[in-house]
Amino acid sequence: MADASSPLPPYLEADIAEAARLLHRARYAIALTGAGLSKESGIPTFRGEGGLWTRNGEPPMNAYERFLMDPAAWWRERLDETGQKNNELAIAIAQAQPNAGHLALVELERAGYLRCTITQNIDNLHIAAGSERLLEIHGNRTLLRCIECDARYRPEMVPTEELPPRCDRCGGIVKSDTVMFGEPIPRRVLRACFLEAERADLMLVIGTTALVMPAADLPAVVYRHGGTLIEVNVEPTVLTPYCAVSLRGPAGTMLPRLVEAVTEHAGREPQFRGVGLDARL
């Protein structure tokens, strides 16, 4: 596979040029990222060849229900250092660094082309790369969250002498920010994601098979409102027939090339700069 600096086939160069043209003229462009982007940073996927669940079996589909039955037991298991040392996903996330795809999205954001990134990933790599206009639809593994008021905390902010820990704002039970199976996505985040999709006239769909709901509905919202979809993926997906352009390759190669192509469009400043998400969350 070509890296970000090696020549690409002419058809791919043409696809990147077309994607850059569409992105350059977009009024409100957003991105949706999935596990394929994190895989390029060494974080294993869950499904598919070599995936954690493919090798080890899927986790219980009622994980949140089980948590609510005995949150103190969940916390005792979480605080067990022996168990954490053998957690393949936790080890991979701790060692992972943002890749060129993450950094390219930050460049697009800072240049004013990308208004928001919605990620299904829980690994914190978008934040580590410098993304500021970010919505984490499945949560962030490095944070904790109150299940009542959705307040988010860094782990060092939450005392664990008494289990389960309680929110200092409302007294609710605190758990990991990661959304468990059977757990509703926090309303505030879900509403913001769909608001962004409704406002967008272009979405970059990066490293996701677009099968996991409700995130899979977001490209459909953009498309139904007459927006353009640009796919970045190593394999075709269910979205491919609906995409104006499909950049067939890893995000770490395709997205830096897209940034280069967008910046080659001279004579026009990006329309939007410095607009955050706070007012919409």
Task: Report, as residue numbers or ranges, the catalytic residues.
Answer: 138
* Residue 94, pLDDT score: 84
Beta strand pairing status for 144-146 and 134-136? Answer: unpaired
Domain spans in the chain, listed from the N-terminal domain onward:
1-43+97-138+185-281, 51-95+143-176
Its pTM stands at: 0.87
CATH pick for 1-43+97-138+185-281 out of 3.40.50.1220, 1.20.1630.10, 2.60.40.1930, 3.40.50.300 = 3.40.50.1220
Q: How far, in Å, CA of 117 to CA of 109, rounded?
A: 9
Would you state the pLDDT for residue 4? 54
Return the beta strands (E) in the chain as ranges.
29-33, 114-119, 134-136, 144-146, 152-153, 174-176, 202-206, 228-233, 245-248
pLDDT for position 7? 76
Instruction: Write b or e for each residue in 150-166: b if 16 or more Cβ atoms lie within 10 A of its Cβ, otherwise e.
Output: beebeeeebeeeeebbb
As given in the structure block, the two tokens for residue 152 are 């988010």
Tens place of pLDDT for every residue, the chain, 281 residues?
445 556 788 889 999 999 999 999 999 999 999 999 999 998 876 655 555 554 555 666 789 999 999 999 999 988 876 555 557 777 888 889 999 999 999 999 999 999 999 999 999 999 999 999 999 999 999 999 999 999 999 999 999 999 999 999 999 999 999 999 999 999 999 999 999 999 999 999 999 988 888 999 999 999 999 999 999 999 999 999 999 999 999 999 999 999 999 998 634 444 433 344 443 33
Q: Which superfamily is assigned to 51-95+143-176 in CATH? A: SIR2/SIRT2 'Small Domain' (3.30.1600.10)
d(CA 206, CA 131): 15
Rg of the chain over Cα atoms, rounded to whole angstroms, equals 20
Per DSSP, 157 falls in state: G
Beta strand spans in 85-143 (E) = 114-119, 134-136
pLDDT of amino acid 56? 53
- Three-class SS of residue 210? coil
- Cβ neighbours around 211 below 10 Å, total: 12
